[in-house]
Amino acid sequence: MEKIFAPWRIRYVLAPKPKNCIFCDFPRQDRDKENLILFRGSKAFIIMNRNPYTPGHVMVCPYRHVPSTLELEDEELKETMKLVNLAIKVIKEAMNPDGFNIGANIGKVAGAGIAEHLHIHVVPRWSGDTSFMPILADVQIVPEALEETYEKLKEKIEKTKI
């Protein structure tokens, strides 16, 4: 059997899990680049996923700590979906994907890593971006550094009107 090493993955596996909600804490800090916050609206924000499925994987989160879309007020819901559209537009321009997966895992049993705070994933997809690696080797290949993706998307967002 061939062995494939993915030493970068161990950082995520062994990293201490935050005690507080990062979707509440990060927007309170003045460290958007470090925290990978791409855009701040009045009711919601766009943040990159630190452990992306593909390059450009972002999340749209309301500022308010609620577990589901059912708890959002009309203005929060409206802006959250507008930011999903902004993310799609910017990622299309910057990265030219063939499609997108968009979704929210509501509840721990549905796969939510942070079930208490709603976040909607926007995942760009390319033809052939899946392979045998995740299935056979439990390895995921992300071909671009987070910092490079952040700069590319941030530049496009700053030039885009919502």
pLDDT in tens, 108-142: 888 878 899 999 999 999 887 764 444 334 445 55
| Domain of residue 82, CATH code | 3.30.428.10
Q: What percent of the chain has pLDDT over 70?
A: 79
In a domain, residue 38? The reply is: yes
Q: Tell me which long-range contacts 73-80 makes (C-beta under 8 A, separation of at least 24).
A: 75/43, 76/43, 76/44, 79/41, 79/42, 79/43, 79/44, 80/43, 80/44, 80/120
Nearest to 56 by CA among 31, 38, 40: 38
Catalytic status, residue 119: yes
The pLDDT assigned to 129 comes to: 73
Torsions phi, psi of 105, nearest 5? -95, 110
Q: Which domain does 58 fall in, by range? A: 16-157
In a domain, residue 68? The reply is: yes
Please say whether the dihedral angle defined by the alpha carbons of residues 81, 111, 16 and 71, taken in this order, is positive or negative: positive
In a domain, residue 9? The reply is: no
Q: Domains in the chain: how many in total?
A: 1
In a domain, residue 60? The reply is: yes
The pLDDT assigned to 17 comes to: 67
In a domain, residue 4? The reply is: no
In a domain, residue 130? The reply is: yes
Active-site residue, from 57, 65, 117, 119: 119
| Alpha carbons 14 and 75: distance in angstroms, whole number | 38
In a domain, residue 82? The reply is: yes
Which tokens hold the place of 7?
Answer: 């030493």
Mean pLDDT of 19-25: 93
pLDDT in tens, 45-68: 999 999 888 899 999 999 999 999
Which tokens hold the place of 68?
Answer: 């589901």
